[in-house]
Structure 1
Amino acid sequence: MMEKLTIKTPPDVLSFIGHTLGFWPKESLVCITLNENSIGATLRIDLPRQPGQELPYARTVAHYLTSDTTATSLIFAVYTSAPWQPGQPKPHAGTIAALTGVLAEQGITIRDGLFVGDDTFSPYDGEPGHELALPVSSTQTSAINAEFIYRGSAVQPTDQITLPATREALANAAAVEHHMDTIRSMSAGTATRQARELWAGMLDTASFPSDDDSHALVANLQFPAIRDRLIADIPDLEEPLQSILFAQTDGAPKWSRIEWAQQLLLHAYTRTSPQHAAPVLTTIGYINWWEGRGSKAHQFLQLALDTDPAYRLARLSDQMIGSGIVAGWNMNKHTAYKALPYEMP
């Protein structure tokens, strides 16, 4: 059992958020649910862009937060570049007021809040002034940040993805087409069984596969029925395919295996061509949705649609994420991505 980490200071809170999300948020509301002193779910959502949306926005946020049925209170952080002048309401004060009211109806209290600017942060309910403002850089020296780094975690400056470069597109396309011809010559049952055996071998091996096996994986992902089965095989759960795809299982997924699958798929992407890339990028996007990284999932799905605007799974998945549907695993602290033990003092 991993030793519990205790979050004691505001810099600890911001370090926890950065490492949990994997990036430093921009123009975002981040909420962390609490059950007594134990941390539950972490939610990041874009701040509302238009005035007049405060109440619907607050209800949407509250819907996500109350999915953690053990939550009794929460802490929040507003990340924004909007300036805050003395004597003026804080940016997004109406949103926080609406959220406070909606959560109170659900029996959830707000324990604390932080206002995080580009260079400094301060208590959300405090008055602007240097005596309460701390430099954002102070998060780098927090105890929690040091512990996360020791455990191999890192915080990226943004959540913008950069795809690795592909090479030898024509040769890759020909190799994938050759494997697709082989798959078409088999019965559906045989093709699916062989695809699953290949994929399981990759997921259970600690090294990257040969180029030929990568081409075979890309070829298998071109067939929707095989693709869906391979996606469902990633979390290593013996539950119905639909339950796994929508992250609504009783058992917890194997997150280390899911992360390795993402690395394998990125590796396969570098050995493919634009005409075969959409299923690979869509599957990576789907994994990011499972992990609660909606903005990254959206980016991968958009990249998939750039290569194939008609790719159905990418379009449907992006619509699902855009409508605010959160993967079921992230509604339960026992199944959520990076469900590590933390507590507040």
Structure 2
Amino acid sequence: MEPLTIKTPADVLSFIGHTLGFWPRESLVCITLADNHVGATLRVDLPKPGTEIGYARMVANYLAHDAKAASVLFAVYTSETRRGETRPHDSTIAALTGALAERGMYIRDGLLVGDLTVSAYDGDPKASTRLPLSATQSSQINAEFVYRGSSIEPTNRITLPPSLKDSQTVDAVEKRLAAIHGLSNWDAMKQARALWTEMLEAKTYPDDEQTIGLIANLQFPAIRDQLMADIPGIDEPMDRVLMAQTDSKPQWSRVEWAEQLLVHAYTHSATMHSAPTLTAIAFINWWEGRGSKAHQFLQLALEADPNYHLARLSDQMIGAGMVAGWSMDCGTAYRDRGLSTS
């Protein structure tokens, strides 16, 4: 894939939108830079008043995981308007500047993105040029991403196809659960992994029997964890895979297909069996750097089963601001676009 070049603010916003997959709202987006090459991209909600210093340290800690990064490009997305010389969230950017300096990094440039326009964050409010956000639609970067099949959603709200909220699959899943209970732990794990591997290596969606088998296997915590760890195709300890702390890069095309398979399983799941599937989908989104979407999937899992332990613990982890290790390294992050700045 040929590298692309960022030249204009519209290019920057197009890159952010396509990298995240949605248009941010009330957000701070930071992109690490090293030798004019893009590194990690981080989006976080804007902070509440009075929390700017702790917030800035948290953001700087995330960005510092990119060991090659020397500088940062940021964009503040907000509906707040500029008041004279006062810029929206200027205390946040001031705190971030100091926190980055403590880690040997500096802010290279910044953008202020409103509801209709984008301008330089530090520009003179009377003299600075404001570009309409519609300019992103005609940017070279946007055109190239669209050509490659990428799109930008208006928000990051998840949409799922409807699942079976009645008992169409309950009896079949319960029957399979009883059969699995009759196996030794070793045989149950072996059969579950064999089925999952067959599904991951296939190029078509599974039949109903295979889908029922996957739904049933995910009901067992030990099997569920192993099947999730099998998704990225990395031969490293399970805990390192699940927490995205491996030395190897995930096979992202395999991860994408796994998510499609799990969504397919969700559509065949009654509510009482859907929490494990939704939790596995949440982990995939977290691995891909989509923490807010992961949170939404975990909330759906907890709606299906308020006592589902892994969903609750994972939601607490994401709520505390933990970012997947793969996302903080441009060599392992999802959708390494190979862009450079100019």
The two structures have a TM-score, normalised by structure 2, of 0.98
Superposition deviation, residue 215 in structure 1: 1.1
What is the CA distance between 1:84 and its match in structure 2?
1.7
Deviation at 1:82, TM superposition (A): 1.1
- Structural mapping, 1:198-277, within 5 Å: 198-277=195-274
What are the within-5 Å matches in structure 2 for residues 1-345 of structure 1? 2-49=1-48, 51-85=49-83, 87-129=84-126, 132-167=129-164, 169-345=166-342
2:75–2:113 CA contact under 8 A, matched in 1: yes
Secondary structure of the residue aligned to 1:171 is coil
Q: Would you identify which runs of 4 or more consecutive aligned residues in structure 1 move more than 6 Å?
A: none
State whether residues 5 and 343 of structure 1, in contact with CA within 8 Å, keep that contact through their aligned partners in structure 2.
yes
**1:137, CA displacement in angstroms?**
1.0
Deviation at 1:171, TM superposition (A): 1.8
Q: Structure 2: which amino acid aligns with 1:279?
A: P
Query: How many Å separate the matches in 1 of 2:225 and 2:164?
Result: 27
Residue by residue, what CA displacement relative to the aligned partner does 1:128-159 show, whole Å, maximum 9, x if unpaired?
A: 35861111111011000011011111110000
Aligned residue pair count = 342
How far the C-alpha of 1:206 sits from its partner, in A, is 1.2
1:300-324 alpha-carbon deviations (Å, 9 max, x no partner)? 0000000100000000000010111
Report the RMSD for the aligned CA atoms in angstroms. 1.1
2 CA distance for matches of 1:39 and 1:281?
Answer: 32
- Deviation of residue 127 (structure 1)? 2.6
Question: What secondary structure is seen at the aligned counterpart in 1 of 2:247?
Answer: coil
Q: 1: distance between equivalents of 2:99 and 2:128?
A: 32
Q: Which amino acid aligns with 2:244?
A: A
Deviations along 1:207-232, whole A, 9 cap, x unmatched? 11111211110000000000000000
| TM-score, length-scaled by structure 1 | 0.97
Answer yes or no: is the 8 Å Cα contact 1:169–1:271 preserved in 2: no
Work out whether residues 83 and 91 of structure 1, in 8 Å CA contact, stay in contact via their aligned partners in 2: yes
Q: Distance in 2 between matches of 1:96 and 1:142?
A: 27
Q: Which amino acid aligns with 1:14?
A: L
Which stretches in structure 1 are left out of the alignment for 5+ residues?
Answer: none
The letter for the 1-side match of 2:214 is L
Alpha-carbon distance in structure 2 between the residues aligned to 1:52 and 1:118: 25
| Deviation of the 1:173 alpha carbon | 1.1
Q: 1:340: Cα distance to partner?
A: 2.2
CA distance in 2, matches of 1:89, 1:129: 12
The alpha-carbon distance between structure 1 residues 168 and 26, as it changes in their structure 2 partners (threshold 3 A), is: closer
Q: Secondary structure at the match of 2:73?
A: strand
